[in-house]
Structure 1
Amino acid sequence: MKQYEEKLRDFIEHNCIEAQQLLFNVSCHSVREAASAVGALPEDFVKNICMIDERNNLIVAIVKGEDRASTSRVGKVLNIGTLRIATETEVLEKTGYPCGGVPSFGYDAVFIIDSKVMEKEVVFTGGGSPNSLVKISTKELQRVNNALILRVRK
């Protein structure tokens, strides 16, 4: 898993992203585990819901940790017919990171940040592996991804 953490650290440094990568000896796979590891509240976390459209493109809906993304809402706002949740294999292939550690940036995708996420100043997201996180401002997250801000939560 170290190679994924290093890959993300290099991406952050090379692209001058204002973010802090945090490494742990415990799992941060779930929002509950991540909140415990970093000593923050569950509402301080985002998760990245990876979806595939009919042309095999990756779309990432970034929602707060307690929320769920709606494939139908994402499809509607992007004017796309059919969307499905990516498999673990597709997530690794398309993002370059394993499930449970996927960051909210650093790979080619259409990024949509749920409007509720932008109510937070700073959030935690996947840090490249299930044992790492990234702390980043929501404004920086939007900038890095050139992300759309739309309601995509259920």
Structure 2
Amino acid sequence: MAIERCREYFKKFNMEDRIIEFDVSSATVELAAAAAGCKPERIAKTMSFKLMEEPILIVTAGDARIDNSKYKGMFHTKAKMLEPNEVEEMIGHAIGGVCPFGINDGVTVYLDESLKRFDTVFPACGSSNSAIELSLSEIEKYSNYVEWIDVCKNWQ
């Protein structure tokens, strides 16, 4: 189970007890916000793409949407999300619980600027009923991100 993978990952930092398991689904931004008791924009949604046949993750604010022209300007190619049947195999977590923690080797993580307006955000933790509240410096540290990027719209 992917939540156990996240729990093991966070155990290295003595943070496994900060993972929240909800009694309800948190598989969408709206459901996660209701479960966590926060505004939807504070949900850190993790989107999976294929870039030159390699998997990447982009963590964005819950209200942000990928801007195709910004994506193309950043990566010099059209945005291509992973197919639903590829996500778990390539990333290590299934849709509804995708997060940048405890992922497969070779997955590159980017953080979108849309997150920077919050003190803390709530990314998933490997299952469709989990999350962890992290500060921006914590999400930087634990996601092993490569850089902050600006590829989203509808949040400013």
TM-score normalised per structure 2 = 0.85
Instruction: Name the counterpart of 2:29.
Output: 31
Contact 2:71 2:78 (8 Å CA) reproduced: no
Letter in 1 for 2:71: V
**CA distance 1:97–1:126, change in 2 (3 Å):** same
- The offset of 1:85, in angstroms, is 0.6
**CA distance 1:41–1:84, change in 2 (3 Å):** same
2:126 alignment partner, one of 125, 128, 143? 128
- The offset of 1:126, in angstroms, is 1.1
- The offset of 1:106, in angstroms, is 2.5
2:99 corresponds to 1:103: yes
2:97 corresponds to 1:91: no
Which whole-Å CA distance do the structure 2 matches of 1:58 and 1:98 have between them?
14
Task: Kindly tell me the number of residue pairs found equivalent between the two proteins.
Answer: 149
Instruction: Name the counterpart of 1:153.
Output: 152
2:58 corresponds to 1:61: yes
For structure 1, list consecutive stretches of 5 or more residues without a partner in the other structure.
none
Instruction: Say what the alpha-carbon RMSD is for the aligned residues.
Output: 1.9
Moved over 6 A (4+): none
Deviations 1:56-110 (A, max 9, x none): 11111111101112344234223x4344111112110111111001113332422
TM-score normalised per structure 1 = 0.86
- Using the aligned pairs only, state the percent identity: 26
Contact 2:101 2:125 (8 Å CA) reproduced: no
Which whole-Å CA distance do the structure 2 matches of 1:115 and 1:53 have between them?
20
More off after superposition, 103-112 vs 89-98: 103-112
Which whole-Å CA distance do the structure 1 matches of 2:64 and 2:46 have between them?
11
Query: 3-state SS of the aligned residue for 1:99?
Result: coil
For structure 2, list consecutive stretches of 5 or more residues without a partner in the other structure.
none
Contact 2:5 2:102 (8 Å CA) reproduced: no
Instruction: Name the counterpart of 2:2.
Output: 4
**CA distance 1:91–1:17, change in 2 (3 Å):** farther
2:47 corresponds to 1:49: yes
